[in-house]
Amino acid sequence: MQEFRGRKIFDGIAVGRIFFYSREQKKVVRRRITDAEAELARFEEAKRTARGQLETLYDKALKQINRRDAQIFHTHLLMLDDYDLNDAIVNMVKNRRVNAEYAVAITGDNFAARFENMEDEYFKSRSIDIRDVTERILDALMGGENDIALDAQSIIAAADLTPSETLQMDKEKVLAFVTDKGSANSHTAILARALNVPAVAGIKASGEWNEKMAIIDGYEALFILEPDEETLEKYRKKQEDEKARIRLLDEYKGRKTVTKNKKRIDLYANAGSLDDIDAAVRNDAEGIGLFRTEFIFLESESEPTEEQQFDIYMHAARKMAGKKVIIRTLDIGADKQPSYTDMEKEANPAMGCRGVRLCLTRTEMFKTQLRAIFRACAYGNIAIMYPMITSVDEVRAVKRIAEEVKEELRQSSITYGEAEQGIMIETPAAALISDMLAKEADFFSIGTNDLAQYTLAMDRQNSELEKFFDPHHEALMRLIKMTVKNAHDRGIWVGICGELAADTSLTRKLINMGVDELSVAAGMVLPIRKETAMCEYTPD
């Protein structure tokens, strides 16, 4: 028995035999060619084949995973036509008179290495996409494709997995993933989440492990090779307990969220796409407490039109069938920036022109979004929420614009609906003047992710700071308490939509502070309902 500790990718426990997957290394030989045009025609033909395959994979991913993650294959289609990549290959064929296979393999390696050496984890993990795309062109040039045929349920072990490799696997037969490379952004992670199977990275798998028994404990990022009987028994028991826990959670479906002594809480889910809304419905969320609209903007190559946005917001409202959907207006900023908003680069983006500041700077973009939201209001129970508020003037300014938008819709006889307008309390300034803000807003939603970042003066993205970052810090608790009191004194409701809402160790405390609503990731709705049911409400 051997134990390895890796990096945590996705929770869960799996016990089973290993299927070791190794990508067949293609032997690419360098040939001298005389007819460069003919060689480039072969390259173009291979790209055409690759394009056809990617379009099929995109459709498959749409059906099997979800729209957001299927975008990987759309990105690959774009990479296929990437100017720099193509230019380097064509130049190599023309100037060095080498065969297309060689030019593709060398250029692919160079580009992938360039990404691999980047500091940023996200870009680092994109090197696998370059390899995937260039391998695909090579397959088309040389014939053949790697096939991943699983004949039994298996733990998949590999150095790394490309998106197309992961998608080729029979989902019913994947018990878990263990890879060497990979991060929370990797395709393995995305698939593990979509299939709901445990995954651990940072484990150097070897061919000798094939068919051997193993255990993956995704909670502890632990991989156990050839476990002894006692360990196997222990983990089989853990697996049973986990299944029982999930069954138990299912019992909370269809119930109200109430404490032992019947204090009612609204338990909503956070969403970033229509797929997330489906997950919210599956997990019995009572509404959507935070619809992050920035993903619609970040995933698009040009600014989403009013019609495109209206379609999404309207479907979100319809899917929730009368339950509340709180749409947060655009919260992009200098670091989360779509290519089409030519904003200046900022030295300190977290404190830059983001959230409501951007909306008040780019009013046309903001008004288009508000038009789409108010039109969608006619189709369900939508509320609007403004992010990154720091002053009363900002709230008045956004509400003035909202009135203008409604007036324009009215003048043009376009159907629209009314909406509650709330604000996010995610800056210390907003919490400290929440008594004043409560006179302007219909509700508050506390964004504890940013509120913690700005209160503790610690970058929420910086993993080096994890050991200093205390999400239960007394300063944060006092700001939450103050916000709740000020909201209630003015007769408005207050929720929490940051990660703290899903922290079961705080549920009792937050409920006793008087928080009216909690909005959490879809998968946390039932655990929080269960936790609430075990709490006694004793107001502070």
Active site residues: 187, 497
At its nearest, how many Å lie between Mg ion and the CB of residue 171? 34
426 near ligand PEP, judged by CB under 6 A: yes
At its nearest, how many Å lie between ligand PEP and the CB of residue 270? 7
426 near Mg ion, judged by CB under 5 A: yes
Angle at Cα 396 formed by Cα 395 and Cα 399, nearest 5°? 85
What is the contact mask toward ligand PEP in residues 453 to 492, using x (rule: CB under 6 A)? ----------------------------------------
Q: Which residue, 138 or 288, has its beta carbon nearer to ligand PEP?
A: 288
Q: Which two tokens stand for residue 418?
A: 């009314």
At its nearest, how many Å lie between ligand PEP and the CB of residue 290? 6
| Amino acid present at 178 | V
Alpha helices in 412-524 (DSSP H): 428-432, 434-437, 448-456, 474-489, 507-513
Angstrom distance (rounded) from CA 281 to CA 325: 12
At its nearest, how many Å lie between ligand PEP and the CB of residue 416? 26
Question: Of the listed pieces 33-41, 54-62, 245-253, 445-453, which binds ligand PEP according to CB under 6 A?
Answer: 445-453
450 near ligand PEP, judged by CB under 6 A: yes
294 near Mg ion, judged by CB under 5 A: no
The residue within the footprint of ligand PEP, chosen from 201, 405, 497, 515 (CB under 6 A), is 497
At its nearest, how many Å lie between ligand PEP and the CB of residue 460? 8
Q: Which two tokens stand for residue 370?
A: 């508000």
Where b means 16+ CB within 10 Å and e means fewer, 3-36 reads ebebebbbbbbbbbebbbbeeeeeebeeeebeeb
* DSSP states along 502-519: G-GGGHHHHHHHT--EEE
What is the contact mask toward ligand PEP in residues 58 to 77, using x (rule: CB under 6 A)? --------------------
Question: Of the listed pieces 131-139, 362-370, 446-454, 473-481, which binds ligand PEP according to CB under 6 A?
Answer: 446-454
54 neighbors 77 (Cβ within 8 angstroms):
yes
Q: Which residue, 286 or 426, has its beta carbon nearer to ligand PEP?
A: 426
Alpha helices in 81-210 (DSSP H): 83-96, 100-116, 121-142, 163-168, 187-195
Q: Which residue, 304 or 498, has its beta carbon nearer to ligand PEP?
A: 498
Question: Of the listed pieces 178-186, 319-327, 447-455, 480-488, which binds ligand PEP according to CB under 6 A?
Answer: 447-455
How many residues make contact with ligand PEP (CB under 6 A)? 10
Question: Of the listed pieces 59-67, 149-157, 402-410, 422-430, which binds Mg ion according to CB under 5 A?
Answer: 422-430
The residue within the footprint of ligand PEP, chosen from 47, 292, 354, 481 (CB under 6 A), is 292
Angstrom distance (rounded) from CA 372 to CA 360: 17
- Binder of residue 501, out of ligand PEP, Mg ion, none (CB less than 5 to 8 A by kind): none
Residue 382, Cα to own-chain centre: how many angstroms? 23
3-class state of residue 57 by DSSP: helix
Q: Which two tokens stand for residue 396?
A: 């008045």
Q: Which two tokens stand for residue 473?
A: 């810090």
286 near Mg ion, judged by CB under 5 A: no
Q: Which residue, 295 or 379, has its beta carbon nearer to ligand PEP?
A: 295
416 neighbors 409 (Cβ within 8 angstroms):
yes
Give the list of residues 6+ apart from residue 312 with CB closer than 8 angstroms, or none.
274, 296
Q: Where in 322-381 is the site for ligand PEP (CB under 6 A)?
A: 331
Taking alpha carbons only, the member of 143, 108, 112, 136 closest to residue 51 is 136
Quick one: the chain helix, strand, coil %, rounded to 5? 50, 15, 35
What is the contact mask toward ligand PEP in residues 87 to 126, using x (rule: CB under 6 A)? ----------------------------------------
Angstrom distance (rounded) from CA 174 to CA 189: 13
At its nearest, how many Å lie between ligand PEP and the CB of residue 426? 5
Q: Which residue, 77 or 360, has its beta carbon nearer to ligand PEP?
A: 360
The residue within the footprint of ligand PEP, chosen from 28, 290, 327, 479 (CB under 6 A), is 290
Question: Positive or negative, the Cα torsion across 523, 528, 533, 534?
Answer: positive
The residue within the footprint of ligand PEP, chosen from 108, 447, 495, 514 (CB under 6 A), is 447
At its nearest, how many Å lie between Mg ion and the CB of residue 516? 19
Torsion, Cα 128 166 159 72, to 10 degrees, reads: 20
Question: Of the listed pieces 57-65, 262-270, 421-429, 502-510, which binds Mg ion according to CB under 5 A?
Answer: 421-429
E strand residue ranges, 162-220: 174-179, 199-201, 213-217
449 near ligand PEP, judged by CB under 6 A: yes
At its nearest, how many Å lie between ligand PEP and the CB of residue 453? 8
Question: Of the listed pieces 39-47, 101-109, 209-217, 444-452, which binds ligand PEP according to CB under 6 A?
Answer: 444-452
Q: Which residue, 160 or 503, has its beta carbon nearer to ligand PEP?
A: 503
Question: What's the first-to-final CA gap in the chain, in angstroms?
Answer: 52
Q: Which residue, 202 or 355, has its beta carbon nearer to ligand PEP?
A: 355
Q: Where in 439-468 is the site for Mg ion (CB under 5 A)?
A: 447, 450
Taking alpha carbons only, the member of 331, 327, 257 closest to residue 524 is 257
Q: Which residues bind ligand PEP (CB under 6 A)?
A: 290, 292, 331, 426, 447-450, 497-498
Q: Which residues bind Mg ion (CB under 5 A)?
A: 426, 447, 450
